[in-house]
Structure 1
Amino acid sequence: MIHKLEHIGVMVKDMDASIRFYTEVLGLKLVKRKALADGVELGFLSFPDSDQVEIELIGRGHDGLPDNGIVHHIAFTVSDIQVEIDRLKSHGVRLMDETPRTILDGDLIAFFFGPDGERLEFFQPAAK
């Protein structure tokens, strides 16, 4: 079952400049910043009165943006990611991930495509 909109991923050229903009100009707070093993860096921001992640900044340093757009994906929180992947398969949805991937502190993700090729993600938070 889908619970809520998890976050919107935005590709950025300069993580520091983007964090300054979203925090100082727009008033969001930085919740977490993490470098991944593949050279990608993530910055998660939310509104001060909400613990919900709203924007995920995705950076690869200063090497420019990819050609697949600035808004990278839309993510939805799910309670059982494998059940949702299987449900997508039953509908013939084109998947990027046939099985969930583990990131950060045990969170599970799986990407798939919408009808116009838009990139979508299911996100299952790690059990705490």
Structure 2
Amino acid sequence: GEEMFERSVEFYRDVLRMSEVRSWKNGTMKGVMLDFGSGIVEITSNGTDSPGQGAIRHMAFATDDVDACVEAVRNAGYKITMEPGDMVIPSEVPMNIRIAFCIGPAGEELEFFQEK
């Protein structure tokens, strides 16, 4: 609903420092597009308290500083579900990464990772 929309926009814009590139309103529906550097996240509200279809369970964001993302999320009062840590993802060319997870404002799982 409206409250979750506002919380989500504030989280992605203010906590994760995504810049607002476009917003609109059409009756009870509205939306905001936020730029995270290599792409755009679009958050919409359907004008009801029902979340509607297509809820997102998990999103991953590449970053240059996993630890700074986690601190911003923690300072905003959101739950960190996995503290930053280093790991190797097995693949044809193993990926050395730093990774962390948190829960976003709509209950979505967010992953922050940086390749080393």
Which TM-score band applies after superposition, normalised by the shorter structure?
0.3 to 0.5
TM-score, length-scaled by structure 2: 0.45
TM-score, length-scaled by structure 1: 0.41
Could you say which structure has the higher helix fraction? Answer: 2
